[in-house]
Structure 1
Amino acid sequence: MHSANLISGRTFRQVTAALAITAATCLAVPASAQESSDPIKLTLHDWTGQLITTNIMGEVLKKAGYSIEYVQADYLAQFAGLETGDLHIAMEMWETTGREAMDAATATGKVENFGPTGMKAKEEWWYPAYMKEKCPDLPNWEALKDETCAEAFSTAETAPKGRYLGGPVTWGGFDDERVEALDLPFEVIHAGTDAALFAELESAYQRKAPIMLWVYAPHWAPAKFEGEWVEFPEYTSECYNDPAWGSNTSAAYDCGKPFGEIWKVGWAGLKENWPGAHAAVTAFTIDNDEMGAMITKVDLDGMSVDDVVTEWMGANEDRWSGWIKQ
């Protein structure tokens, strides 16, 4: 009786499929028709936390319909690409090591500081608590000037000088300059990778072997191992830029590393080309405890970065969906 008003099963399936395609298409493009369809390029570096923050941001932008590319880039040299617009977003620029490069780039007007990530950075010379027996005046940095203390941190390749295991040379940090400026009887040896740095800490700690190295937070190491950061003269911008400042009036870097924010930075054209993405990156925030837990899952529990990011996305949908509704 009502056959004239019915749609055949086949036709119904065709209409349903067409509607599904249309809906998918709507979800696959940014909300603003004016936004560029070009891929947004996010930089990847060589430490676990940065890979996590970058992949989280990339997945969030994908949810908003953007095309994403990940580009391996040098931590400090990336600013050349950010200034030209060949790279677009760098999710972690640490106050401790990258402030000068960031300030120089933003001063050109071609790079924008998108604000803090919510994480607080600490990077400094670190030693296990068991080394205090051999160098009891630590954490005061002046204890390292004592030859007996320095020798306690030596290895066959550096003796009688102490050995300081720094991060990969691409991280910056001015440790070689710090040793010279403070006249420390130490030799700086740079680890090849982030993984090598902390593998050596694991090995030394298990054997109660001497080690002084670059440790940073947020990270699992300060939570897993008992130890302390060396207390150098407090950082000021003058320390890095004015040799007359500090205990050595003829050399800069006679102080510790700065502490502070971990920043999000990127190409100044991001806001004009992808305003929705710009709003999402600006809104992104994660704290030290949350990041430390995710780094632990990758570095200690054997999960992949992709799996940790997927888990985080599933548990925090209300949070990240708010970033893309800005």
Structure 2
Amino acid sequence: MARTRTRASVRPRTRTGPRVRTRTCLAGAAAFALLTLTGCGAADMTQQASPYANARGSKTVTLSVQSWVGAQANVAVVTYLLEHELDYRVDTVQVDEIPAWDALSQGRVDAILEDWGHPDQERRYVADKKTITPGGDLGVTGHIGWFVPTYFAEQHPDVTDWHNLNKYADQLRTSESGGKGQLMDGSPSYVTNDTALVDSLDLDYQVVFAGSEAAQITQIKQFAKEKKPFLSYWYKPQWLFEKVPMTEVELPAYQEGCDADPKKVACAYPNTPLQKFLNADFERKGGSAATLVKNFSWTTEQQNDVALMIADQGLSPEAAAEKWVKANEPTWRKWLRGA
């Protein structure tokens, strides 16, 4: 969802959009020549890379794809257009958010299509080394927060104020939370502020990791099916809100710098306009592929449409992209201008 989604790894602090998240390894699809990496999302990209990355004299592109489904939707649509409209061969590589910056700098991948905000990496690679170039806004604003199911918020309206969370800790306790209320997070690889928030706000809760975005979605759906209460780190954009309505818990308001010390964070996550980044050589020499990547910008609703087809309707990324592309030609034709 640096989704710290601060999905969050949200993002800015990182979705990790939405922090650094690596959810589950992607299944290969016809549109994706997916490179298999050791240790899902945790590969050492200084040693491994796509054979097509930064290839000279050939129409090939390598895209970094994060494990959350919104990022998969971006890559699916751009891949489809590169292959079917511009006649490129596309390879995708899944890697955690921070290593992805290293891979991008080294030319082992050509572009990242959804970054949730990594200011340290931007300073290092964009400002200082100049090996990475900003690719512009994705058009989607990421937001991370704590959410409860709307059915529980309607029964207990005051639960949406963090001051009252301890009142409901017993109801939100699980077998994994050690006698405290459970705050459910996704993957341990997400960079989140949640442990610091629990400590700083003196909350009687334990952060419990589901293990991946997919596992977290499964758990949320199960809770909702049984109408059980839950408190979860979650992020927007995310298609699951269409299936399980959730209401955000109001945390202390975000102010610039309030999350500067990751061990003492006591404020909400910021809203993060999601960004694209390109390898500097690819930006200069990538021709129509680089132009398409820079022009690619869509809405939260459009991303969710494709994500829903992949994650909920069971379409492959390629099939979802094809369906969306056929229904939205006026939108993507603009991205091809100058390509």
Aligned to 2:253: 234
User: How far did 1:129 drift?
Assistant: 2.4
Residues 220, 295 of structure 1: 8 Å contact kept = yes
**Structure 2 CA distance for aligned equivalents of residues 196 and 40 of structure 1:** 31
Aligned to 1:141: 162
**Structure 2 CA distance for aligned equivalents of residues 237 and 80 of structure 1:** 27
Aligned to 1:183: 202
Aligned to 1:73: 95
Aligned to 2:303: 291
Residues 80, 318 of structure 2: 8 Å contact kept = no
Please state if 1:255 is matched with 2:267.
Answer: yes
Residues 172, 231 of structure 2: 8 Å contact kept = yes
Q: 1:173 aligns with which of 172, 192, 202?
A: 192
User: How far did 1:42 drift?
Assistant: 0.2
Please state if 1:82 is matched with 2:104.
Answer: yes
Residues 169, 180 of structure 2: 8 Å contact kept = yes
Aligned to 2:22: none
Q: Secondary structure in 1 aligned to 2:138?
A: strand
* 1:93-117 deviation line (CA, Å, top 9, x unaligned): 124xx45544554333222221111
* 1:112-156 deviation line (CA, Å, top 9, x unaligned): 221111112122111112333775422222222x3x322221112
Aligned to 2:326: 314
Aligned to 2:142: 121
* Alignment size in residue pairs: 281
Matches within 5 A, 1:1-326: 36-37=57-58, 39-62=60-83, 63-95=85-117, 98=118, 101-102=121-122, 104-108=124-128, 109-132=130-153, 136-144=157-165, 146=166, 148-241=167-260, 251-326=263-338
Residues 82, 266 of structure 1: 8 Å contact kept = yes
**Structure 1 CA distance for aligned equivalents of residues 125 and 170 of structure 2:** 41
Residues 114, 275 of structure 2: 8 Å contact kept = yes
**Structure 2 CA distance for aligned equivalents of residues 237 and 37 of structure 1:** 45
The range that moved more, 228-237 or 78-87, is 228-237
**Structure 2 CA distance for aligned equivalents of residues 60 and 99 of structure 1:** 30
User: How far did 1:293 drift?
Assistant: 2.0
User: How far did 1:229 drift?
Assistant: 1.1
1:119/1:38 CA distance change after superposition, 3 Å: same
Residues 109, 279 of structure 2: 8 Å contact kept = yes
The range that moved more, 85-94 or 169-178, is 169-178
Residues 94, 261 of structure 1: 8 Å contact kept = yes
User: How far did 1:226 drift?
Assistant: 2.9
* 1:63-106 deviation line (CA, Å, top 9, x unaligned): 223332111211232111111121111111124xx455445543
Q: Report the aligned-residue RMSD.
A: 2.3
Aligned to 2:42: none
1:296/1:238 CA distance change after superposition, 3 Å: same
Alignment TM-score, normalising by the size of structure 1: 0.78
1:55/1:130 CA distance change after superposition, 3 Å: closer
**Structure 1 CA distance for aligned equivalents of residues 259 and 57 of structure 2:** 41
User: How far did 1:299 drift?
Assistant: 2.1
Unaligned ranges ≥5, structure 2 = 1-55
Unaligned ranges ≥5, structure 1 = 1-34, 244-250
Q: Secondary structure in 2 aligned to 1:239?
A: coil
1:55/1:298 CA distance change after superposition, 3 Å: closer
| Equivalent AA in structure 2 for residue 239 of structure 1 | C
Identity %: 24
**Structure 2 CA distance for aligned equivalents of residues 187 and 101 of structure 1:** 30
The range that moved more, 41-50 or 251-260, is 251-260
**Structure 2 CA distance for aligned equivalents of residues 135 and 180 of structure 1:** 24
Alignment TM-score, normalising by the size of structure 2: 0.76
1:233/1:301 CA distance change after superposition, 3 Å: same
1:102/1:192 CA distance change after superposition, 3 Å: farther
**Structure 2 CA distance for aligned equivalents of residues 81 and 210 of structure 1:** 41
**Structure 1 CA distance for aligned equivalents of residues 71 and 270 of structure 2:** 19
